[in-house]
């Protein structure tokens, strides 16, 4: 059962089309990874779901549903009631995501009081409980500390705990580990994984790191130039990548055993095109070996067995041969 | 670093010292500052020949104790400085934060208001208002409070624009906070540092403007002992009894100097605090 459904989402910034008809769904209790290069529209998609786009952006969608409820029909007030309560978000940069002017405890308590009311005391108890849950030792002491007294890893844990204050159903994590060093990264990913299993949380994880995807995702959507070009369960995607872009992306990653030492890694020629409004056809065609004149027309979304969708004119067998 | 600290401490000591003098003026003043005695006019201060030990800094042209008047004058300067800054600070910060936070058309209106205000000559407007409504301490405070908000607005606006794009503000939006909440809890506490510096500088400016208005006879009405008014009243006698203008002049200088030192020190302190 899909918790978050996005159908043909379009986001524009002036003449630039940042997202062009992206569609995917996040099921209850799954980790859905959204991967793609910088600037392909991953973060903007997440912000659009939260209703946090800059006022200069335009958002249009055939469907944008959270738990069956149409988000595009909600008022700003109803949206802010949903934000932080049933859907929460954590950001890339933990060093600046906490307000330097208040203690950790007061910031965490505030989220709960804002949505659920209740006493400060009860909220602080809940905050301490969650800090413990994200494996922070001596939570009582941490609650009284200011953000500058915490390390990056600790701050990201605090951000996660803060996002969990109201017991959300959906957690959007926008590159939550990019700014952290590798050992801390592993801890945070493990933590997210555990929390998800314990709390039945759905996580939309945005990343450009395929290693992270392989590790935590249940399903993956690959974005390219504002479109979701392929969606598949994680094993399917790594085992049988179908869209030429996904195949190119995976060939860029060194896999021990698959690639002999000294052998050059794959690369994708060209750069991501800047796509304006009214662009038709496949945005990947200039960089694709299989492209033909027909790629300038509309490209259908094809569905393969096992909940595997991709956006290309070519047959999987045809692509696999190349 | 140490020299900055010295400035900060010296400024703080001067400011707090004069503040305390102002607060406890009735206890500190040896004489009644309004008590005239025409038999003892223009007595010299203690370092000159012919001084009277009862009058530490001598007397003015009406025989009032100059030391007591100086102490009561600190009250006027401090009160006008503080009240003006409260008024203009609230106005300026509100305008600046709204402009910086909402941007776009709202910001255009705010910028227009700021440029309009900057194109108004302060003294001229103050003169016009005082000549219409008459002079009193309240009028001076109101006039200066309504005129001196421009620097607060400029600084608050820019600081708000910087803070607005910080991740913790985005996180607050994502946590479902309202506009009001974000301005009050996320933005304001984080722009207080630059505003504190502006506050000290504007206070010094307000005190000087009050002195200027009083000197022109449009500020605090006599017989109140404003330092500016004391200079104005003494200027006819300055060739014979120069101390009557030197003493309040020095007091004014020391206070404004102290406040400026405090402001500079605060600015350096907050700036270095930010980089750590």
Mean pLDDT by 10 residues, chain B (276 residues): 74 88 80 74 73 72 80 86 92 92 89 91 85 84 89 92 86 84 87 88 87 81 81 80 84 89 84 50
pLDDT at A294: 83
A230's CB contacts (< 8 A; 6+ apart) are A220, A221, A222, A237, A241, A242, A243, A245, A246, A308, A309, A310, A311
> Looking at the domain assignment, is residue B38 inside a domain?
no
What is the helix, strand, coil percentage profile of chain A, to 5? 35, 25, 40
The full DSSP string for B193-220 is HHHHHHHHHHHHHHHHHHHHHHHTTSSS
> Looking at the domain assignment, is residue B239 inside a domain?
yes
User: Residue A160 in contact with residue A144, Cβ under 8 Å?
Assistant: no
CA distances from B70 to A51, A110, B14, B26, B81 (A): 61, 51, 15, 12, 16
How close is the nearest chain B Cα to the Cα of A247, in Å?
34
User: Residue B233 in contact with residue B219, Cβ under 8 Å?
Assistant: no
- The answer to whether the peptide bond before residue B223 is cis (omega within 30 degrees of 0) is yes
pLDDT at A322: 67
Is residue A119 helix, strand or coil?
A: coil
What CATH number does the domain containing B70 carry? Answer: 1.10.3720.10
Asked if the C-beta of B175 comes within 8 angstroms of chain A's C-beta atoms, the answer is: yes
* Domain boundaries, position B266: 2-32+55-275
pLDDT at B4: 62
> Looking at the domain assignment, is residue B244 inside a domain?
yes
How many residues does the structure list for chain A? 322
Distance CA B267, CA A138 (A): 36
B20's CB contacts (< 8 A; 6+ apart) are none
> Looking at the domain assignment, is residue B37 inside a domain?
no
Task: Name which of A83, A93, A97 is nearest B176 (Cβ-Cβ).
Answer: A83
Enumerate residues 138 to 197 of chain A having a beta carbon within 8 A of any beta carbon in chain B. Answer: 159, 162
Q: Is A13 exposed, middle or buried (0-12, 13-18, 19+ CB in 10 A)?
A: middle
Give the best residue of B159, B167, B173, B175 to mutate against chain A (max A CB count within 10 A): B175
Asked if the C-beta of B273 comes within 8 angstroms of chain A's C-beta atoms, the answer is: no
pLDDT, tens digit, 9 for 90 and up, residues A267-306: 887 777 777 777 888 888 888 888 888 888 888 788 887 7
Chain B residues near residue A86 by CB distance under 8 angstroms: none
pLDDT at B272: 55
Fold for domain A27-40+74-86+171-321? Rossmann fold (3.40.50)
* Residues of chain A below pLDDT 70: 1, 322
Is residue B136 helix, strand or coil?
A: coil
Return the sign of the alpha-carbon dihedral for residues A67, A71, A74, A77: positive
Asked if the C-beta of B246 comes within 8 angstroms of chain A's C-beta atoms, the answer is: no
Task: Name which of B166, B171, B178 is nearest A80 (Cβ-Cβ).
Answer: B178
> Looking at the domain assignment, is residue B261 inside a domain?
yes
Give the best residue of A46, A79, A101, A104 to mutate against chain B (max B CB count within 10 A): A101
A152's CB contacts (< 8 A; 6+ apart) are A94, A95, A179, A180, A181, A184
Q: Is A280 left (phi over 0), alpha (psi -120 to 50) or beta?
A: beta
> Looking at the domain assignment, is residue B46 inside a domain?
no
Distance CA B219, CA B224 (A): 10
B225's CB contacts (< 8 A; 6+ apart) are B33, B68, B69, B70, B72, B73, B76
- Chain-centroid distance, C-alpha A34: 5
pLDDT at B8: 86
User: Residue B152 in contact with residue B91, Cβ under 8 Å?
Assistant: yes
Half-sphere exposure of A283 (CA within 13 A, CB side): 23
> Looking at the domain assignment, is residue B48 inside a domain?
no
Q: What ipTM was reported for this prediction?
A: 0.74
Q: What is the CA radius of gyration of chain A?
A: 21
CB contact under 8 A, A89 and B174: yes
pLDDT at B276: 35
- Chain-centroid distance, C-alpha B104: 33
Distance CA A170, CA A3 (A): 8
φ, ψ at A224 (rounded to 5°): -145, 125
- Among residues A134, A137, A127, which one has the least CA distance to residue A165? A127
For chain A, which residues make up each domain, given as ranges?
Answer: 27-40+74-86+171-321, 88-165
Domains contained in chain B, number: 1
Q: Is B1 exposed, middle or buried (0-12, 13-18, 19+ CB in 10 A)?
A: exposed
Enumerate residues 26 to 65 of chain A having a beta carbon within 8 A of any beta carbon in chain B. Answer: 50, 52, 55
Task: Name which of A88, A98, A101 is nearest B174 (Cβ-Cβ).
Answer: A88
């Amino acid at each position: 059962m899909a918790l978050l459904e996005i159908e043909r989402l379009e986001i524009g910034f002036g003449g630039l089309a940042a997202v062009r008809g992206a569609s995917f769904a996040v099921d209850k209790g799954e980790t859905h990874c959204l991967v793609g290069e910088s600037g392909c529209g991953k973060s903007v998609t997440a912000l659009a779901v939260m209703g946090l786009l800059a006022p200069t952006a335009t958002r249009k969608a055939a469907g944008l549903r959270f738990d069956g409820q149409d988000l595009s029909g909600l008022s700003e007030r109803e949206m802010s009631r949903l934000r932080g309560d049933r859907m929460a978000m954590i950001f890339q940069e933990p060093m600046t995501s906490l307000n330097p002017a208040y203690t950790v405890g007061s910031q965490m308590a505030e989220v709960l009081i804002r949505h659920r009311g209740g006493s400060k005391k009860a909220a602080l108890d809940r905050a301490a409980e969650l800090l413990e849950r994200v494996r922070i030792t001596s939570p009582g002491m941490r609650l009284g500390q200011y953000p500058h007294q915490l390390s990056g890893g600790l701050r990201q844990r605090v951000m996660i705990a803060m996002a969990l204050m109201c017991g959300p159903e959906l957690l959007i994590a926008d590159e939550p580990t990019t700014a952290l060093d590798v050992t801390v990264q592993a801890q945070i990913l493990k933590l997210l994984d555990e929390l998800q299993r314990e709390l039945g949380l759905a996580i939309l994880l945005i990343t450009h790191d395929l290693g992270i995807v392989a590790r935590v995702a249940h399903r993956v959507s690959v974005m390219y130039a504002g479109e979701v070009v392929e969606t598949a369960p994680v094993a399917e995607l790594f085992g049988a990548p179908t869209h030429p872009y996904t195949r190119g992306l995976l060939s860029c990653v060194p896999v021990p055993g698959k690639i002999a030492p000294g052998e050059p890694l794959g690369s994708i020629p060209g750069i991501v095109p800047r796509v304006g409004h009214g662009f038709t056809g496949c945005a990947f065609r200039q960089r694709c070996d299989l492209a033909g004149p027909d790629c300038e027309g509309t490209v259908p979304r094809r569905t393969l067995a096992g909940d595997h969708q991709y956006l290309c004119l070519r047959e999987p067998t045809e692509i696999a041969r190349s | 670093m140490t020299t900055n600290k010295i400035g900060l401490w010296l400024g703080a000591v001067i400011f707090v010292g004069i503040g305390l003098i102002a607060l406890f003026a009735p206890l500190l003043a040896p004489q009644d500052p309004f008590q005239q005695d025409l038999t003892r006019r223009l007595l010299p201060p203690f370092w000159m020949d012919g001084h009277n030990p009862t009058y530490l800094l001598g007397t003015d042209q009406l025989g009032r104790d100059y030391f007591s008047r100086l102490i009561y004058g600190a009250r006027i300067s401090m009160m006008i400085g503080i009240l003006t800054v409260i008024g203009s600070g609230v106005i300026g910060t509100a305008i600046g934060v709204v402009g910086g936070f909402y941007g776009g058309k709202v910001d255009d209106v705010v910028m227009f208001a700021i440029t309009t205000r900057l194109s108004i000559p302060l003294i001229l407007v103050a003169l016009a208002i005082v000549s219409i409504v008459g002079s009193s301490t309240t009028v001076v405070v109101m006039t200066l409070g309504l005129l001196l908000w421009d620097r607060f607005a400029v600084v608050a606006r820019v600081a708000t624009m910087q803070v607005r794009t910080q991740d913790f503000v985005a996180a607050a939006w994502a946590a479902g906070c309202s506009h009001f909440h974000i301005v009050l809890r996320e933005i304001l506490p984080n722009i207080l540092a630059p505003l504190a510096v502006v506050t000290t500088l504007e206070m010094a400016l307000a005190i000087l403007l009050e002195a200027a208005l009083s000197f022109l006879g449009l500020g605090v009405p006599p017989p109140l002992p404003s330092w500016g008014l004391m200079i104005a009243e003494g200027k006819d006698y300055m060739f014979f009894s120069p101390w009557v203008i030197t003493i309040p002049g020095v007091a004014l200088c020391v206070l404004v100097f102290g406040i400026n030192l405090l402001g500079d020190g605060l600015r350096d302190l907050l700036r270095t605090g930010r980089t750590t």
